[in-house]
Amino acid sequence: MAISDADFLKGWRQVLEMCNLKAGEQVTILTSDDSNPQIANIAKLAASDLGAVVSELNLAPVNGEKALSPDKSGYVGKTPLEGNAAALACLKASDMVIDTLQLLFSKEQEDVLKGGTRMLLAVEPPEIMMRMMPRPEDKQRVLAAAEKIGAAKKMHVTSAAGTDFTCEFGQYPVLTQYGLADEPGRWDHWPSTFSARWPNEGSSQGTIVIDEGDILLPFKHYAREPVTVTIEKGMIVDIAGRTEAEFMRKFMESFNDPRAYAMAHVGWGLENRAHWTVLGLYDPQSQLGMDARSFAGNFLWSSGPNTEAGGNRDTPCHLDIPLRNCSVSLDGEPMTIDGKVIPADQV
Ligand code: FE
């Protein structure tokens, strides 16, 4: 259901205030030909309303002819910033960038962030954004989880479906997403509420079973039957099952890139306003799937790139797979049990 411009403007004002946007700051609204016009227009109005100096930068879409699906998270190759020194200079000169084109992770984006620019991605349908307006308590939960995952040496994940997976930490920083770009150099995505980390290279080991009904992104569908993924020394070495497994194998093979099989971020969802059901209630291509990535107690694991964590594995193939009913522990301390966040009063 649509959100009125008036309500969306109130929402944007509140979020930008929570992002510590001050009068006189330079804000760039990054758009492309397929940006949601309501998001771009209302973000621009809200930033102007708060006294920011607002520009709009429109960049042509890229990768369209290479990607197999319209989902931008499923093809994370070069961005329109590559070779575009003028656009890069504009973003670097901004205090805050509101990204409605979904720039995704790239050396150029890391460059912009390193200069202190904060960036807020905003691409989900406005009603999903408004349902999951960032709240201070979400940030607290995410930071509490990040503290745990940041101090942990080892993660262990199990499930009744057959998952038994371990990995070690220390090599890469912790990823926090609480929907606010509220500090210099911070990237975030409204809406999202989770914490994650990239395992040490070569440390991921074991079996992950994607059970019937778990969500596969960027496929944006619910698994039709179980898929057993075997991971050895940080790499996916086998994907076994029926049609669902074949679908996953064929998609990954289409990139013809061995780096696609590396394990990427692992973590768990912390958002009690996000729902496992939402992906099935929408035209899947109308959303990125932040309910799926954020719902409380999921085990969200992924494959492919590590550029977001500062690594140089820039494979364009990226899967995000939120599982239900898993138990995640850090150095033996439970963070979720059977898909419920521990302690339960954190959610
Ligand atoms: Fe991801």
Residue 256 maps to a domain:
yes
> Which band of pLDDT confidence, cut at 50, 70 and 90, is reported for residue 346?
low
What's the 53 CA to ligand 1 centre distance in angstroms? 32
> Which band of pLDDT confidence, cut at 50, 70 and 90, is reported for residue 79?
confident
What's the 138 CA to ligand 1 centre distance in angstroms? 19
What's the 24 CA to ligand 1 centre distance in angstroms? 34
> Which band of pLDDT confidence, cut at 50, 70 and 90, is reported for residue 64?
confident
Residue 128 maps to a domain:
no
Residue range(s) defining the domain that contains residue 299: 133-346
Residue 163 maps to a domain:
yes
Helices 37-49 and 5-18: angle between axes, nearest 10 degrees: 60
**pLDDT at residue 9 above 70?**
yes
The residue behind tokens 């758009």 is 31
Q: Which pLDDT score, from 0 to 100, does residue 323 have?
A: 98
> Which band of pLDDT confidence, cut at 50, 70 and 90, is reported for residue 345?
low
The residue behind tokens 């079996």 is 207
- Tell me the average pLDDT across 265-273: 97
Query: Are 293 and 132 within 8 A, CB to CB?
Result: no
> Which band of pLDDT confidence, cut at 50, 70 and 90, is reported for residue 1?
confident
Same domain, 106 and 142: no
Same domain, 196 and 238: yes
Q: What is the C-alpha to C-alpha distance for residues 243 and 263, in angstroms, rounded to an integer?
A: 22
Residues around ion ligand 1, judged by CB within 5 A, are 302, 320
Of 84, 99, 123, the last residue of a domain is: 123
What's the 193 CA to ligand 1 centre distance in angstroms? 13
CA dist 192 to 56, 237, 297, 309, Å? 24, 30, 14, 17
Residue 43 maps to a domain:
yes
pLDDT greater at residue 79 or residue 220: 220
What's the 196 CA to ligand 1 centre distance in angstroms? 9
Q: Which pLDDT score, from 0 to 100, does residue 344 have?
A: 56
The residue behind tokens 């990823």 is 175
What's the 104 CA to ligand 1 centre distance in angstroms? 10
Same domain, 294 and 206: yes
Interval 330-339: pLDDT, tens: 999 999 999 9
Is the entire prediction scored with pTM above 0.85? Answer: yes
Of 301, 106, 117, nearest to 194 (Cα)? Answer: 301
Same domain, 187 and 238: yes
Same domain, 115 and 185: no
What's the 175 CA to ligand 1 centre distance in angstroms? 10
Interval 165-218: pLDDT, tens: 999 999 999 999 999 999 999 999 999 999 999 999 999 999 999 999 999 999
What value, to the nearest 5°, has the Cα angle with vertex 290 and ends 289 and 291?
A: 95
What's the 191 CA to ligand 1 centre distance in angstroms? 14
What's the 299 CA to ligand 1 centre distance in angstroms? 12
What's the 318 CA to ligand 1 centre distance in angstroms? 7
Same domain, 177 and 61: no
> With helix as H, strand as E and coil as C, how does the chain read?
CCCCHHHHHHHHHHHHHHCCCCCCCEEEEEECCCCCHHHHHHHHHHHHHCCCEEEEEECCCCCCCCCCCCCHHHCCCCCCCCCCHHHHHHHHCCCEEEECCCCCCCHHHHHHHHCCCEEEECCCCHHHHHHCCCCHHHHHHHHHHHHHHHHCCEEEEEECCCCEEEEECCCCCEEEECCCCCCCCCEEECCCCEEEECCCCCCCEEEEEECCCCEEECCCEECCCCEEEEEECCEEEEEEECHHHHHHHHHHHCCCCHHHHEEEEEEEECECCCCCCHHHHCCHHHCCCHHHHHECCCEEEEECCCHHHCCCCCCCCCEEEEECCEEEEECCEEEEECCEECCHHHC
Same domain, 118 and 159: no
What's the 293 CA to ligand 1 centre distance in angstroms? 9
What's the 136 CA to ligand 1 centre distance in angstroms? 23
> Which band of pLDDT confidence, cut at 50, 70 and 90, is reported for residue 106?
confident
Of 123, 142, 176, the last residue of a domain is: 123
> Which band of pLDDT confidence, cut at 50, 70 and 90, is reported for residue 343?
confident
The domain that contains 81 carries what CATH number? Answer: 3.40.50.2300
Using CB atoms within 10 A of its CB, is residue 278 exposed (0-12), middle (13-18) or buried (19+)? middle
The answer for residues whose C-beta is within 8 angstroms of residue 342's C-beta and 6 or more apart is 334, 335, 336
**pLDDT at residue 347 above 70?**
no
Interval 230-252: pLDDT, tens: 999 999 999 999 999 999 999 99
Same domain, 73 and 185: no
- Tell me the average pLDDT across 87-101: 97
Number of separate domains in the chain: 2
